Amino acid sequence: MIEIIKRTISLLTTLSILACITVTACAADNYDWAKAEIKYCQDNGIIAGDEHGNLNPGGTLTRAEMSKMLVEAFDIPDGEEQSFDDINSGDWYYPYANAIKMYMTVPGNNFYPNEAVTREEFASTLVSASGLKSSALCNLRILTDNFKDADKVTTKYKTLLSIAVERGYYRGSDYYLRPTDTLKRAEVCAMLYRVLEKQKGYLAITRYDLGVPETNTPILGESQISMESAISWAKANDASDLFIDAAQYYWKYGELTGIRPEVLYAQAAKETGYGRYGGRVLPEMNNFAGIKKYGAVGDATEDHETFETREDGVRGHFNHMSAYVGIDPIGEVHGRYNSVKSLSWAGTIVYVEDLGGRWCPDLYYGYAIVKDLLNKMENY
């Protein structure tokens, strides 16, 4: 039962919560959906009850409460120096407020401890407190592409809120973010539970959590696009000669493996900027998929595989994907192939959308390949 709860629980909202106008309108029993998550936070000292032991799950989160919950959740050292003009050393939240100032987005001189926290503010502060920075954002359009009220997000919170969505920390409801709505304590418990369990690798994030329409694009199968059409698409996107020349090998190994060549060609466009590169991986490395060396944990140039020829690089791309989808590789494999094969989910990936969180940390990764590249190639 717990596993079912983990897979389906909402980060921030359920329809029953949104329907509640006041705290008293929501009986405690209505928060049974978050019972495990509230207990998790209580057991770990993240949330505490009042003098009567009431956890008040339907209570609106204040900024003072947010500071304590984040400090306890992420073991942030208490702040000892005065950080805000409107708090005093005798206030119970004094050390917590001082501790989280560095994680708040443009905090200002006043803390306003009793002010209700909005969803966008909490999500942004949470992302920073969890150790992520603005540079962690992979998909700049994840909000505008998937939520009808993305324009309601306050500018200063946009990047960090995007990361929260990308990592599955925050999800909307019915394609709405409702960024300026306030939060209930139960919702915060659910959110913190997901973040902490995700960091430990215990929690799977589904496409439902990302707030994106459900699509299933097969990786295996016959090509639906001719090589000539793909090359025309690549040229229209100012692809390099290297990338255009590589198309012949993508369609060659597509025939040999049964992996759709246009899928990997689209992925290569994402990884290399249509063969223009510009990142840590260099064109002469013939690495079309950002494949790292076995055991590498950094992101330097030397952490990535180098293939002797252009064709070897394409074959390496297909071999790497073969470990994901469960087919035999062709020829000698690179080291990273074996590390993927050792993972519990190796050989189980069916759809492009499922590459997110596996090929790279960005949970939207597979959707970006389909939406931004493959669909446009097909419609070119």
Q: 3-class SS at 159?
A: helix
pTM of the model: 0.62
The residue among 180 and 6 whose pLDDT is bigger is: 180
Q: In the predicted model, what is the mean pLDDT of residues 293-305?
A: 90
Q: In the predicted model, what is the mean pLDDT of residues 166-183?
A: 87
User: CB neighbours (10 Å) of residue 25?
Assistant: 10
Please report the DSSP string for 66-120 in residue order: HHHHHHHHHTPPPP-S---TT--TTSTTHHHHHHHGGGSSS--S---TTSBPBHH
Buried b (16+ CB within 10 A) or exposed e, 174-208: eebbbbebbbbbbbbbbbbbbbbebeeeebebebe
The predicted pLDDT at position 347 comes to 96
The predicted pLDDT at position 23 comes to 29
Instruction: Give the type of residue at 226.
Output: S
The predicted pLDDT at position 245 comes to 98
The predicted pLDDT at position 209 comes to 59
Q: In the predicted model, what is the mean pLDDT of residues 298-315?
A: 95
User: CB neighbours (10 Å) of residue 2?
Assistant: 7
- Cα–Cα distance for residue pair 268/246, rounded to 1 Å: 10
Query: Is the per-residue pLDDT at 22 higher than 50?
Result: no
Instruction: Give the type of residue at 129.
Output: A
Query: Is the per-residue pLDDT at 158 higher than 70?
Result: yes
**Selection from 169, 165, 161, 163 nearest residue 195 by Cα:** 169
- Cα–Cα distance for residue pair 290/264, rounded to 1 Å: 12
The predicted pLDDT at position 50 comes to 73
The predicted pLDDT at position 212 comes to 67
Q: In the predicted model, what is the mean pLDDT of residues 91-105?
A: 96
**Selection from 63, 104, 106 nearest residue 87 by Cα:** 63
Q: For the segment 245-271, what is each residue's pLDDT rounded down to a tens digit?
A: 999 999 999 999 999 999 999 999 999
The residue among 239 and 166 whose pLDDT is bigger is: 239
Residue 354 sits at φ, ψ, to 5 deg, of -85, 0
Residue with tokens 């493959």: 374
The predicted pLDDT at position 60 comes to 95
Please report the DSSP string for 218-275 in residue order: BSBS--SS-HHHHHHHHHHTT--HHHHHHHHHHHHHHHHH-B-HHHHHHHHHHHHTTT
The residue among 145 and 347 whose pLDDT is bigger is: 347
The residue among 364 and 124 whose pLDDT is bigger is: 124
